[in-house]
Amino acid sequence: MTDDPNVAAAQVKDGIAWLSFNRPAKRNAMNPALNRRMAALLDELEFDKGVRVLVLKGEGAAWSAGMDLKEYFRETEAEGLGAIRRAQREAYSWWRRLRWFQKPTIAMVNGWCFGGGYGPLFACDLAVAADEAQFALSEINWGILPGGGATKVVVDLMSMRDAMYHALTGELIDGKRAAAWKLVNESVPLAQLETRVAEIAGILIKKNPVTLKATKDAIRRVKEMSYDNAEDDLIRAQEAANSFANEGRKEGIKQFIDEKAYKPGLGPYDRSRG
Ligand code: COA
């Protein structure tokens, strides 16, 4: 198993990190090396001051043909349960990182998007597809159920009827239908895809970055909550965002570590000084 650093790539320009699936010859199927590389790139980009928005795109004809059937499934299965679980962790963990990424994220779906690809698709806050892109839960065609979150993705985003049809038939849908079924926000002709995504990124770049992060997290969190819990959570989230620059903790640490003026285990720091 290789650890090729070129299986995923990133380029930062004008506040946008263009992060690419970069195995075009394999239709950007996600193998373990790609999953590890994506995690490393997200680490590099997340707190890069030059990055205000992240766009996830695919090199070549595909966005991602899903999990690599040879390297992710067959080869790890041959190594046993430990290897299977490790490969799953490597895939799921970068998708989770992406779901809660510090900056807003946009999936720019230029081409094929299959099965496991729905994990990073859902992880992106917004998704714009080319009309020409092709989506399918192809798992049914080769004999597994849509795992790796893919079933959860379609149930969360689509109507139950559309999700069921999509998962049971494995039929391809194009970008326009993916937009109609709410798998993506919208679709545009491939020739206009990058321009449209850059336009949306431009809207986001003008917003307060603390508010963007608080809002994207709130949208994902409240979906799982009752109205009353959401109402309460949003008050706390807003107040946490308001006090993002709260300096009190720093004063508390300084008075203990630097000044030895008090012991946090025995009482509070001197609040009159900060
Ligand atoms: N896993 C492993 N290899 C894959 C792959 C995948 N998911 N998707 C494509 N590839 C490989 C092919 O085996 C082929 O390798 P080779 O050149 O060494 O023979 C190469 O990528 C190109 O694929 P090919 O099928 O020739 O391209 P295509 O443009 O004719 O068709 C697809 C593109 C995406 C329709 C087709 O590759 C496909 O059906 N892929 C599997 C999609 C899938 O079911 N994914 C779900 C996984 S959860």
Closest residue by Cα to atom 1, ligand 1, is: 68
Provide the 3-class DSSP secondary structure of residue 56. Answer: strand
Q: What is the pLDDT of residue 245?
A: 63
pTM beyond 0.85: yes
Mean of all residue pLDDT scores within the chain: 95
Determine the distance separating the centroid of ligand 1 and the alpha carbon of 15, expressed in angstroms.
33
CA distance 195 to 43: 27
Could you tell me where the DSSP H helices lie in 31-80?
Answer: 32-46, 75-79
Query: Residues near ligand 1 with C-beta < 6 Å?
Result: 26-27, 29, 61, 65-70, 112, 114-116, 138-139
Minimal-distance CA residue to ligand 1 atom 34: 65
Question: Tell me, what's the pLDDT at 1?
Answer: 47
Residue 190 Cα to ligand 1 midpoint, Å, equals 21
- Residue 27 CA to ligand 1 center (angstroms) comes to 6
Give the model's confidence band at 188: pLDDT under 50 very low, under 70 low, under 90 confident, else very high. Answer: very high
Question: Helices (H) and strands (E) in the chain — how many of each?
Answer: 12, 10
Among 43-57, 88-102, 126-140, 237-251, name the one with the lowest average pLDDT: 237-251
Question: What is the pLDDT, as a whole number, of residue 246?
Answer: 65
> Which residue, by CA, sits nearest to atom 7 of ligand 1?
68
CA distance 152 to 262: 50
- Ligand 1 geometric centre to CA of 26 (Å): 6
pLDDT value at residue 2? 52
pLDDT at 247 over 80: no
Q: What is the pLDDT of residues 50-60, one digit of tens each?
A: 999 999 999 99
pLDDT tens per residue, range 86-111: 999 999 999 999 999 999 999 999 99
Residue pLDDT, tens place only, 6-48 = 999 999 999 999 999 999 999 999 999 999 999 999 999 999 9
Confidence grade of residue 193 (pLDDT, cut at 50, 70, 90): very high
* Pair of tokens at residue 151: 């079933």
pLDDT, average across residues 186-194: 98
CA 84 → CA 90, 141, 223, 250, distances in Å?
10, 21, 31, 43
Q: Tell how far the Cα of 65 is from the centroid of ligand 1, in angstroms.
A: 6
Overall average pLDDT of the 108-125 stretch: 98
pLDDT above 90 coverage of the chain, percent: 91
Q: Higher pLDDT residue, 242 or 33?
A: 33
